[in-house]
Amino acid sequence: MVERTLPAPLGIVPGSPGVQFVGFAIRPGAGSAGGSPPPSGGYVERLNLNREWQTRKEQATARGVGVLAQAFAARAQNAEIWDVEGRRYIDFAGGIGVLNTGHRHPKVIAAVEAQLARFTHTCWQVMPYPGYVELAEKLNRLTPGAFDKKTIFLSTGAEAVENAIKIARIATGRSGVIAFSGAFHGRTMMAMALTGKVAPYKAGFGPFPPEIYHTPFPIELHGTSVDDAIVGIERLFKSDIDPARVAAIVIEPVQGEGGFYVAPPELLRRLRALCDQHRILLIADEIQSGFARTGRWFAMQHAGVDPDIIVTAKSLAGGFPLSAVTGRADLMDAAAPGGLGGTYAGNPVSIAAALAVIDVIENEKLVDRANVVGDAIRRTLEAARDNAPQIAEVRGLGAMMGVEFVDPASAVPDPAFTKRVQAHAFDAGLLLLTCGVHFNVIRFLMPLTIEDAVLNEALDILRRSLAAAAA
Ligand SMILES: Cc1ncc(COP(=O)(O)O)c(C=O)c1O
């Protein structure tokens, strides 16, 4: 095992989901048990390469893109990553929720290689290809709602959110949009405006598009109820915007970046009723919660509430850039030809990957596997409470689990403790992501395909990291 201590933190400003800090010196170095690395393909791994790349990174790239690790990836397989110095990490971040089917799933790679041999780009808007249609049909079938649906493809999550709002506006002829405090919908202008967290996502980047309103997200732990959330919307209707001018309410059924708070089914049902009453569209942002992560194909299915439009991305294409907007067919057809799309939107290589991802989720029963993995995390965290009284709540749906830390004496959020757990885990070779408005939640986004032995090894590191942080 190679061990080394990198220099003191760089002081990078909080930056991206799960990358809110770089506040520890990284001393990576898990052992090599639990899996054989993929061939390095002649790539030379040697000491001090991370340090060299870090120096070049600082000189060549902007700090506004916050980066968690000061170790550079060389190769990865399923739930493991090896850095340029040959050190192994167990990946509980999954590229921020992108790798429900793991790194380089053989079936995804085979589908991509086959597509690479055919063509890589025509632009769907110039010459279409069957895979786009086939994937649209699958999403129309798999997403919640037994009504006619249509789908368009984009490249990123934020782009899908932007397009969902465009579609909602043109379909309703209304302009207002309501989102939730603590929400994260992306970094483009509209997605950023909808995001309900100022630092680091919005501070200094305004002005934002008008007619965006926020209402409290119900979090019982912090004293906000479903009633409070609904009262918040009704207050908006009285004081800020006529409901007849609201095009859509946008919600993550499990808040991701905001802290892995599950929207209570009662909230989703009451939103549905409110939307029906005022002819407002309900948009579900399942970019992080979709594709088996929560123990259903989509998190909305837990509440039995059908959104009018659902946006997906991340694990849709197993590591290739692809996002989708799926919705009621009449809404999706509201925009005239040319109003939607993009040069790379629905890239054929990503589409091939996504078709394989859907087969893998079905064939390997990853919906069920999410519940097994989630139970293992829950049990580990609940058992760790004795040693780590900072654990305020263990929560989640399926394998979309989070653990929130507070100071046991004051019950105040404890981001310092959260950082310590993350740092200890990193030291031992486990990649963990944080989240939450107060940066005091650790979220778990490991591949659902993770081998039992690797999962157990990681949970053991997690146990030890919690104890070490509490000591
Ligand atoms: C719920 C949610 N919506 C939107 C986005 C934005 O996706 P992207 O980063 O691909 O633009 C994210 C990304 O973390 C997300 O978690």
Q: Measured at the alpha carbon of residue 9, what is the angle toward residues 8 and 13, in degrees to the nearest 5? A: 160
- Going from the Cα of 410 to the center of ligand 1, the distance in angstroms, rounded, reads 33
Q: How far is the CA of 228 from the centre of ligand 1 (A)?
A: 26
How far away, in angstroms, is 5 Cα from ligand 1 center? 33
Question: 134 C-alpha vs ligand 1 centroid, how far in Å?
Answer: 24
C-alpha 39 to ligand 1 mean position (Å): 32
Atom from ligand 1 closest to the CA of residue 286: 1
CA of 312 to the centre of ligand 1 (A): 9
Report how far apart the first and last C-alpha atoms of the chain are (Å, whole number): 25
To test the ligand 1 pocket, which listed residue (98, 162, 184) has its Cβ within 8 A of the most ligand atoms?
184
Q: Which of 160, 387, 177 is nearest to 288 (CA)?
A: 160
Nearest CA to ligand 1 atom 8: 157
CA distance 98 to 42: 27
Residues contacting 396, CB < 8 A, separation 6+: 254, 260, 262, 294, 374, 377, 378, 402, 444
- Check: CB of residue 370 under 8 Å from CB of residue 448: yes
> Rounded distance, CA 424 to CA 445, Å?
18
- Which atom of ligand 1 has the smallest separation from the CA of 183? 1
pLDDT of 85:
95
CA of 186 to the centre of ligand 1 (A): 5
Q: Which atom of ligand 1 is nearest to the CA of 252?
A: 1
CA distances from 263 to 45, 87, 231, 253 (A): 45, 39, 16, 5
- Ligand 1 centre distance from Cα of residue 402 (Å): 17
In this structure, which residue's CA is closest to atom 7 in ligand 1?
157
Structure tokens at 259: 């802290």
Which atom of ligand 1 lies closest to the CA of 288? 16
Residue ID of nearest Cα to ligand 1 atom 13: 186
- The pair of three-digit structure tokens given for residue 57, joined into one six-digit string: 């990174």
CA distance 467 to 405: 13
Q: How many angstroms does the Cα of residue 351 sit away from the middle of ligand 1?
A: 19
pLDDT reported for residue 243: 98
Mutate to test the pocket of ligand 1, among 185, 195, 250, 445 (most ligand atoms within 8 A of CB): 185
Two structure tokens written together for 46: 């040697």
For residue 314, which atom of ligand 1 is closest to its CA? 10
How many Å lie between the centroid of ligand 1 and the Cα of residue 48? 33
Q: Which residues line ligand 1 (CB under 6 A)?
A: 17, 96, 156-158, 161, 184-186, 252, 256-257, 285, 287-288, 313
Predicted local confidence at residue 7, as pLDDT: 32
Q: What is the pLDDT of residue 41?
A: 57
Tell me how far the alpha carbon of residue 185 lies from the centroid of ligand 1, in angstroms: 5
From first to last of the 471 residues of the chain, give the pLDDT tens digit: 333 333 333 222 233 334 333 333 333 443 333 345 566 655 567 788 999 999 999 999 999 999 999 999 999 999 999 999 999 999 999 999 999 999 999 999 999 999 999 999 999 999 999 999 999 999 999 999 999 999 999 999 999 999 999 999 999 999 999 999 999 999 999 999 999 999 999 999 999 999 999 999 999 989 999 999 999 999 999 999 999 999 999 999 999 999 999 999 999 999 999 999 999 999 999 999 999 999 999 999 999 999 999 999 999 999 999 999 999 999 999 999 999 999 999 999 999 999 999 999 999 999 999 999 999 999 999 999 999 999 999 999 999 999 999 999 999 999 999 999 999 999 999 999 999 999 999 999 999 999 999 999 999 999 999 999 999
pLDDT of residue 46: 77
> Residue 414 has what DSSP assignment?
-
- The CA 1 to ligand 1 mean position distance, Å, reads 36
Atom of ligand 1 nearest to the CA of 187: 11
Question: How remote is the CA of residue 284 from the centroid of ligand 1, in Å?
Answer: 12
Q: For position 391, what pLDDT does the model report?
A: 98
Q: Which of 287, 289, 294 to mutate to test the pocket of ligand 1 (most atoms within 8 A of CB)?
A: 287
Q: Residue whose CA is closest, atom 16 of ligand 1?
A: 288
* Residue with CA at minimum distance from ligand 1 atom 10: 157
Atom of ligand 1 lying closest to residue 255 CA:
1
379 by DSSP, 3-state: which?
helix
Determine how many CB atoms are found less than 10 A away from the CB of residue 77. 17
Instruction: Return the axis-axis angle of helices 452-470 and 366-384, rounded to nearest 10°.
Output: 30
Task: Output the residue whose Cα is nearest ligand 1's atom 4.
Answer: 185
